[in-house]
Structure 1
Amino acid sequence: MTNDSPIIPKLSASGIHYFQTYDESLALWPIPYKTFYVPTRFGQTHVIESGPEDAPPLVLLHGALFSSTMWYPNIADWSSKYRTYAIDIIGDKNKSIPADLCGTRKGYADWLLDVFNHLGIEKSHIIGLSLGGLHTMNFILCASERVESAVILSPAETFLPFHHDFYQYALNLAEPNGVDHFLKWMMADRSVLHENFVKQFHAGVMWQDGSRNPKPKTDGFPYVFTDDELKSVKVPTLLLLGEHEVIYDPKSAFNRASTLVPGIEAEIIKNAGHVLSMERPAYVNKRVLRFLET
């Protein structure tokens, strides 16, 4: 069940501008796609769908403030083998329309279950980066029976708390040159994002909307999963980290994940940082497909 024409609340000027920049970024999508909304108990969820209709499903969950448009360097390769569903995470800056913010870890899992059910997905592979990686781990712990396998890229917290520098740069995003400083801190000179995408990211930072990016709750995100939670993972999982990760020490995250998560495949990728799917797409695309096909 899908809804192509949801009722969108009246947007502020900054919200209208953001939606325009989102569409400009989506123009970078290199293959045919369709967009639509699915209803959930927490609001309307925006989805970008690509790939062969009869292929196995693959759900993509983006990083905070990046939206589903961030997958433009990856989507052609992954959609050659799978029916991909790039889902705008409810409550973040994107085209989804929150109505009743879930806010809690269980609420976010229930939201994603609603999306699966309305898309008719019984079981899917999932890929999540940063915030999306955190959502992925949360979902496989809450609804493992709905997940074929999981790929977690540079997850927000999950295995380790954020480095204090993260909060310093995040809090200064809306300051003059704050976006440039943040992206420089995360990506250095390893990669240059397309100007359309940078424009969208900046517009998302400047879009003031109280229904998005709610204040963290004690039982919500960000969150570091306990030893017992990580030991209980039942889904085949691949963890990819960049050697130049700045939000925490990648070797420590690698070691904790490898020690606790049963059967996990983990790798630290050279010449990559936090946004490794955009920094080293050719390698990441192939590495992910190799894992999914095993």
Structure 2
Amino acid sequence: MSNRLPIIPALNDSGIHYYQTYDESLALWPVHYETFYVPTRFGQTHIIASGPKEAPPLILLHGALFSSTMWYPNIADWSSKYRTYAIDIIGDKNKSIPTDLCGTRAGYADWLLDVFDNLGIEKSHLIGLSLGGLHTMNFVLRASERVESAVILSPAETFLSFHQDFYKYALGLVGSNGVENFLNWMMGDRYVLHPNFGKQFYAGVMWQDELRNQKPKADGFPYVFTDDELKSVKVPILLLLGEHEVIYDPQSALHRASTLVPGIEAEIVKNAGHVLSMEQPEYVNERVLSFLSK
């Protein structure tokens, strides 16, 4: 495993601790990988790459506060067929190093275009969960010529606004028992995070860094795409939602997506909630590979 590092700005104690927990989570990665950074106009972007270098590319975009290490239950299957690039979304809690807060939907698409260009990728499949799903749809709408197909898992907003409970639990994360309450709300008694990953999630919540605590903008995220935007999608889309989703009503999101997005494949995954790639990895891994192979 290689690790080509840029010059990393000095980290405070909570940042140093977070990096340590990130590496402990990465120890769960079950296949060979290399980590490196690519430059973009918005800062250095950290990437975990696996799979044969000659295989078709597959970009992975993680959920908020989860980082690219969240894909450890999926990466063995997906990297057996694709050259996977798990990308730490700039501005979120992870190992990417933002220098300019793009913050807008257009800026985030430009950031991802820079990543594509610096990886030498002309066109790729994309998979995104939660925040990563929102980024995926944003990129599909702004750079469809660079996307072979896209898998959107439990997207943040995108089709429906957050349930008011989301803000209650998200804003309470840094309070007493905030992380435990948030995870219990999101996952119930169906799933418990691996201890390594749980430590990383907690450390990310507690890491105070102005460049990774962006303020919402009117033209940024979160965002619900308009009917006209969704009708304009030009690439094949697979949407998977958990039957126990709590950030919005999954049936309503499924209905709006199925009604508006041309040719979309959409389904509710049984016995899964928001983080369905972790909760039901065997089914999700197989369903994704089946869709990507079409």
TM-score (norm 2): 0.99
Determine the structure 2 residue equivalent to 1:242: 242
* 1:181 partnered with 2:181: yes
Please state whether the residue corresponding to 1:285 is helix, strand or coil.
helix
Which residue of structure 2 lines up, in the alignment, with residue 100 of structure 1?
A: 100
**Structure 2 unaligned runs (5+)?**
none
| C-alpha contact 1:160 1:224 (8 A) present in aligned 2 | yes
Whether the aligned pair in 1 keeps the contact of 2:3 and 2:34 (CA below 8 Å) is: no
Quick check: 1:59–1:85 contact (8 Å CA) kept in 2? yes
Compute the displacement of 1:16 (Å): 0.2
SS at match of 1:211: helix
- Alignment partners' CA distance in 1, 2:106 and 2:4: 27
Q: 1:195 matched to which residue of 2?
A: 195
User: What residue identity is the alignment partner of 1:219?
Assistant: D
Q: Deviations over 1:70-95 (max 9, x none)?
A: 00000000000000000000000000
Q: Which residue of 1 aligns with 2:169?
A: 169
Residue 48, structure 1, aligned to residue 20, structure 2: no
2:81 and 2:5 map into 1 onto residues whose CA distance is 29
Partner SS state of residue 19, structure 1: helix
Deviation, structure 1 residue 213: 2.8
| Superposition CA RMSD, Å | 1.0
Which residue of structure 1 lines up, in the alignment, with residue 73 of structure 2?
A: 73
Q: Secondary structure at the match of 1:118?
A: helix
Aligned pairs, how many?
293
- Aligned residue type for 1:271: N
* Match runs of 1:200-211 below 5 Å: 200-211=200-211
The residue type equivalent to 1:83 in the other structure is R
How far 1:250 sits from its partner (Å)? 0.2
Equivalent residue letter for 2:80: S
Q: How does 1:136-151 map to 2 (within 5 A)?
A: 136-151=136-151
Q: Secondary structure of 1:240's match?
A: strand
What are the equivalent positions in structure 2 for 1:1-294 lying under 5 Å apart? Answer: 4-294=4-294
Compute the displacement of 1:52 (Å).
Answer: 0.7
* Inter-partner Cα distance in structure 1 for 2:171 and 2:78: 34
Instruction: String of CA shifts for 1:251-290, please: whole Å, max 9, x gaps.
Output: 0000000000000000001100000000000000000000
Could you tell me the TM-score, scaled by structure 1's length?
0.99
Q: Is the 8 A contact 1:3 1:39 kept in 2?
A: no
- For residues 45 and 81 of structure 1, the distance between their equivalents in structure 2, rounded to whole angstroms, comes to 24
Question: How many Å separate the matches in 1 of 2:54 and 2:118?
Answer: 17
Kindly state the Cα deviation for residue 3 of structure 1 after the two structures are TM-superposed.
Answer: 8.8
Q: 1:52 to 1:35 in 2, by over 3 A?
A: same
2:49 counterpart SS class: strand
Cα separation, 1, equivalents of 2:126 and 2:71: 13
Cα deviation, residue 177, structure 1: 1.3
- Provide the secondary structure at the position in 2 that maps to 1:247: coil
Q: 1:176 Cα deviation (Å)?
A: 1.8
In the alignment, residue 128 of structure 2 is paired with which amino acid? G
Q: Distance in 2 between matches of 1:69 and 1:229?
A: 31
Runs (4 or more) in structure 1 with deviation over 4 Å come to none
Q: Secondary structure at the match of 2:14?
A: helix
Partners of 1:176 and 1:106 in 2: how far apart?
A: 37
Q: Is the 8 A contact 1:3 1:38 kept in 2?
A: no
Q: Distance in 2 between matches of 1:134 and 1:15?
A: 26
Distance in 2, matches of 1:209 and 1:133, equals 24
The 2-side partners of 1:79 and 1:8 are apart by: 28
Encode CA deviations 1:186-227: one digit per residue, 9 max, x unaligned. Answer: 011111210000000000000000001301100000000000
Distance 1:279 1:181 in 2: 18
Q: Displacement, 1:5?
A: 2.2
Which runs of no fewer than 5 residues in structure 1 stay unpaired?
none
Distance 2:46 2:68 in 1: 9
